[in-house]
Amino acid sequence: MELKILDPSFSYIGVLDIFESVIWTERFNEFGDFEVYTPVTLEALAKLESDRYLSIDDSEHIMIIENRQIITDSDGPNKLKVTGRSLQSLLDRRIVWGQRMITSSLQAAIETLLNENIINPVDVNRQISNFLFVASLDTNITSLQVDAQWAGENLYTVITTLCKKHHIGFKIILNEGMFEFSLYSGEDRSYEQTANPYVVFSPEFDNLLSSEYTESNIDLKTVALIAGEGEWAVREATMASTGPTVGLDRREMFVDANDITSIVDEVELTLTEYLSQLEQRGIERLGSKIEIETFDAKIDSTVMYTYGTDYNMGDIVQIVNEYDMESRSRVTEFIRSQSLTGYEVYPTFTKVID
C-alpha cells in the first residue's frame, strides 16, 4: 500500500511508503477513517501535516489528516501515529442553522440541507465553495420520502441518521478539485435475485478464512413515546412503532422532541401535521435501536471475488459460515490493513432486514 499526500489545494506532495502499519477503513453511511504508524523522521513530520489529504490507488475515498502523535519508547524506536477521517467528515463542520422543516423526497431534503448549510448558505462565511451535490437517478433513492424538522443539529448526524434509517449510503469524493456528495444504494448479489451474478462468501468456496458472527437485541426498542414542545402539562405527545407493540416483545423508549415546534416560519402547523413531525422523530430514534446481526469476516481476496470489481460498498451478498448460518448481508464497512505481517482485508457485513 502506498499513501499519496496532497496539500489543502490538492497539489501532490509525495508518497509515504515506509511505515510499520496502515489501517484504512471505508463505511457505507458513515465517515471512514485511517491510522498510520511510521518511524519519526523530519521528512515524515514535514509531509504528514494536519489538514493534508491522503489517498491510495485502489480506493475512491480521500482521508483528511487530523491528529498526529509522537510516541517515544526507551526500548525501541520512536513512532509517529497519524489518524484522521474521510471526506464525509466535512459535514461534521456544519450544523442545521436555525430551524428547518422539510417535507419532500429524501434526496431533495438532503440537497436542501447541503445547499443551505454548505453550498449556498445565506452567510457566505459558511460556504465551502468547491462542494457539489450530485443527484442520483436510482429509484431506490428517488422514491424515498421524508417529513422532518431540525433546529441546530449537527449536519453530519442528521444526514447519517436519514441514510441509516432508509438503508442507503452517502459518499464525498474528490473530483477535479471538487468535493462531490452523492447518495447510493448497493446492488443485490444474493441468492434472492437473478439480475446480478451471485457473490457468496463461505468456507465451501475457500474464500471465508474466518468470521465472527454477532447477534444482539440488548438495545432493541420497538415503541416510542414522543413528547413535543412545552411543559409536561401541555405537551402534545404521540406514539411510533417499528416492531411488536404487545406483551413481552414490546420494548419502549421515550423521545424528548422539545425542539420540534408547532410554529415554523411564523406559520402554525395543524395538530395532524405536528403529530406527524413527532412520529417521524420517534421512528428516526427507533431506527438506531434495532436488533443487530453482523458478520465480521476475514476473506481471501485472491479467491473468486475482488472488492471494487465483483462487489462494492453497499452491495448485498450471501454469507454462509461453517455452521450453515446463512444471511443476505450488506457490505457496510471495508478495512484494508498492511503491516510487517502482510496485507489483509476485512469486510463487515450487516444482515439485511426486509
Distance (Å) of CA 294 to CA 225, 328, 354 = 29, 11, 15
Radius of gyration of the chain (CA): 23
**Is the pLDDT confidence value at 295 over 90?**
no
Look up residue 172 and give its three cell numbers: 464525498
Burial of 298 (0-12, 13-18, 19+ CB in 10 A): middle
Averaged pLDDT for residues 242-246: 94
What is the DSSP code string of 60-126?
Answer: S--EEEEEEEEE--TTS--EEEEEEEEGGGGGGG-B--SEEEEEEEHHHHHHHHHIIIIIS-SSGGG
Write out pLDDT tens, residues 58-74.
899 999 999 999 998 87
249-276: pLDDT as tens digits: 999 999 999 989 998 888 899 999 999 9
> Distance between terminal CA atoms of the chain?
37
Residue whose cell numbers read 433513492: 141
104 pLDDT higher than 70: yes
Contact between 131 and 87 under an 8 Å Cβ cutoff? The reply is: no
Instruction: Say yes or no to pLDDT of 37 above 80.
Output: yes
326-330 CB contacts, 8 Å cutoff, 24+ apart? 327/293, 327/295, 327/351, 327/352, 328/190, 328/191, 328/192, 328/352, 329/294, 329/295, 330/28, 330/167, 330/186
Q: How far is CA 14 from CA 43, 54, 156, 298, 339, in A?
A: 11, 10, 31, 31, 21
Q: How confident is the model at residue 83 (pLDDT cuts 50, 70, 90)?
A: very high
In the chain, count of helices (H) and strands (E)?
A: 5, 23
Over residues 241-251, the mean pLDDT reads 95
Contact 170, 138 (CB under 8 A): no
- Residue 299 confidence (pLDDT) above 80: no
Q: What is the pTM of this model?
A: 0.85
pLDDT of residue 335: 93
∠ Cα 262 274 253 (to 5°): 110
Rounded CA separation 294/348 (Å): 7
Instruction: Provide the pLDDT for residue 354.
Output: 63
> Can you tell me the distance from the alpha carbon of 311 to that of 352, in angstroms, rounded to the nearest whole number?
16
* Alpha-carbon distance values, 227 to 273, 275, 280, 281 (Å): 14, 9, 12, 10
Span of 40-49, 50-59, 69-78 with lowest mean pLDDT: 69-78
What is the rounded distance in angstroms from the CA atom of residue 60 to the CA atom of residue 313? 11
**326 pLDDT higher than 80:** no
Q: What is the mean pLDDT of residues 133-155?
A: 94
CB 283 within 8 A of CB 173: no
Average pLDDT of the residues of the chain: 92
Q: How long, in residues, is the chain? A: 354
Residue 8 pLDDT exceeds 90: yes
* Contacts for 128 with CB less than 8 Å, ≥ 6 apart: 90, 118, 119, 179
Query: How far apart (Å, rounded) are the C-alpha atoms in residues 322 and 324?
Result: 5
Which stretch of 154-158, 217-221, 227-231, 297-301 has the lowest confidence by average pLDDT?
Answer: 297-301
**Mean per-residue pLDDT, 146-167:** 93
pLDDT at 75 over 80: no
Q: What are the phi and psi torsion angles at 347 (to 5°)?
A: -80, 155
Give residue 231's pLDDT band: very low, low, confident or very high (50, 70, 90).
confident
Q: What is the mean pLDDT of residues 68-83?
A: 89
**Residue 44: other Cβ atoms inside 10 A:** 17
CB neighbourhood size of 162 (10 A):
22
Q: Does pLDDT of 85 surpass 80?
A: yes
